[in-house]
Structure 1
Amino acid sequence: MSQPRWAVVVPVKRLSAAKSRLRGALPGVPHEDLALALAADTLRAVLACPAVAEALVVTDDARVAAAARAAGAQVLPDQPDAGLNAAFRHGAAHAPAGWVAGLTADLPALRPTELAGALLAAQAGDDGVRRFVADAPGLGTVLLAAPPGVDLEPRFGVGSAAAHTASGALPLPGDWPSLRRDVDTADDLAAAARLGLGPRTAALVAAACPARSTS
């Protein structure tokens, strides 16, 4: 029997405000281009995942919206200054009935097979309980999954792994390094590069190499 397929919500901030701690990580590369590449490579992996039926990108950035539509995602308008959790709730409210996941947009090394593995693991405990995947350090959250009829109830932000646990969600313990490797800093980007970046982020890193070597 085939497994149910997922709607995945991916909020993306306005590029000028996104990933502020990553600013200057690639000399000579405009910051907005890097932020867009992270989101585009994340979305590329989501849409290539066989467990995913639909991707919903929540954004008020025109460049992000254009890239998302071109990739085949549905775009929903974000409410300025409403915050990340409001964007996740907005996307989940417009998702088809069924399994829904919220995913951060800064996973440029994400492999579709690892995302599929995490979603399958979430489905395996079909008990009406939300489940989440913590980031590599174990403090944040990269993926939050809700079964049919259960609100997503996102608690993304500082200390979100503990916040999701406190809200009743259960952690998924699988070995998914590319899923857990979110990128907030230059060190995170280097760690993602060691796993293998998606094409848009990889191209920017390659373009920055000459500048980096002379800096």
Structure 2
Amino acid sequence: MTQDTVRPVEPVPPAARPGWSLVLPVKPLALAKSRLGAFAGELRPALALAFALDTVTAALACPDVARVLVVTQDRLAGPELADLGALVLDDEPGGGLNPALAHGAAHARRIAPHSPVAALSADLPALRPVELSRVLAQVPPTGRAFLADAPGIGTTLLACAPGTGLRPAFGGPSRDRHAAGGAYEITLPDVPSVRRDVDTGADLAAARALGLGPRTAAAAAPLFPRPGARNPYAARL
């Protein structure tokens, strides 16, 4: 796949465990992805929105996923994500990432009490439905499980079986916290798009090498000029 290729969202064959509820948190765009600031400048809010739109589109294309719930207070992101088919919830707790995820998981339990629930990072712009399907298939029928991010420090997905509390502990070195809390670590070697969240310019370049979703590819295009053109952002990676 070349660097300028836009990855289509491909369907995957029907799986044996449908019905997942996925909960995604989306920060107010003006505050989101602060570590991209030096690299992306004024493009940062648009990139944050594009990440979320491509992540939700890919998640909804996964046949194992029955519903996607987005928890956000952002008045621009909410309607756009709802137009994709996500159920958008107001971030009622307002206490940060983990309270938002717990709020979304509780709502998912109310509308689909017999479905498993997973929290998924909303900044996976290279997410492929087929890889998400592989990860969800590895979640045990009881208890909790998680997938570490590409550096092996954070977490991009935390899942729980019906009747089990999600107990999210995202942020910073969350891999160790989720493991210490008794969650099973999923160690699949071939799901890079589910591990590749984006916080920095280097992360975005790595996601681009995997193949960005169409909205992120368009939003990020000014940051990656075509070969031969001067790249004013190169030193910021």
Letter in 2 for 1:30: L
Q: 1:110 aligns with which of 110, 127, 152?
A: 127
Deviations 1:163-185 (A, max 9, x none): 00011101001121000001000
Name stretches of at least 5 consecutive residues in structure 2 with no aligned partner. 1-14, 233-237
The percent identity for this pair of structures is: 51
**Aligned-residue RMSD, C-alpha:** 1.7
C-alpha separation in 2, matches of 1:181 and 1:73: 22
C-alpha separation in 1, matches of 2:196 and 2:102: 23
Match of 2:235 in 1: none
Map of 1:151-190 to 2, 5 A cutoff? 151-175=165-189, 176-190=191-205
Q: 1:119 aligns with which of 136, 151, 156?
A: 136
1:199 matches 2:214 = yes
Instruction: Report the number of matched residues.
Output: 211
How far residue 208 of structure 1 moved from its aligned partner, in angstroms, is 3.5
C-alpha separation in 1, matches of 2:46 and 2:91: 20
Letter in 2 for 1:119: L
C-alpha separation in 2, matches of 1:23 and 1:109: 20
How far residue 26 of structure 1 moved from its aligned partner, in angstroms, is 3.3
Deviations 1:26-73 (A, max 9, x none): 36x522111101111111111111100000000000111011110000
Match of 2:4 in 1: none
Deviations 1:93-149 (A, max 9, x none): 000212000001110000011001100111xx21x2200000011110000000000
Asked whether the equivalents of residues 18 and 63 of structure 2 are also in contact (C-alpha less than 8 Å), the reply is no
Letter in 2 for 1:146: C
Asked whether the equivalents of residues 37 and 201 of structure 1 are also in contact (C-alpha less than 8 Å), the reply is yes
Match of 2:159 in 1: 145
1:70 matches 2:83 = yes
SS at match of 2:68: strand
1:130 matches 2:144 = yes
Letter in 1 for 2:211: G
SS at match of 1:136: coil
How far residue 210 of structure 1 moved from its aligned partner, in angstroms, is 4.5
Asked whether the equivalents of residues 24 and 31 of structure 1 are also in contact (C-alpha less than 8 Å), the reply is no
Letter in 2 for 1:169: A
Provide runs of 4+ in structure 1 moved above 6 Å. Answer: none
How far residue 81 of structure 1 moved from its aligned partner, in angstroms, is 4.2
Asked whether the equivalents of residues 133 and 141 of structure 1 are also in contact (C-alpha less than 8 Å), the reply is yes
C-alpha separation in 2, matches of 1:24 and 1:213: 18
Letter in 1 for 2:40: L
How far residue 76 of structure 1 moved from its aligned partner, in angstroms, is 0.4
1:90 matches 2:103 = yes
C-alpha separation in 2, matches of 1:87 and 1:8: 13
C-alpha separation in 2, matches of 1:26 and 1:104: 20
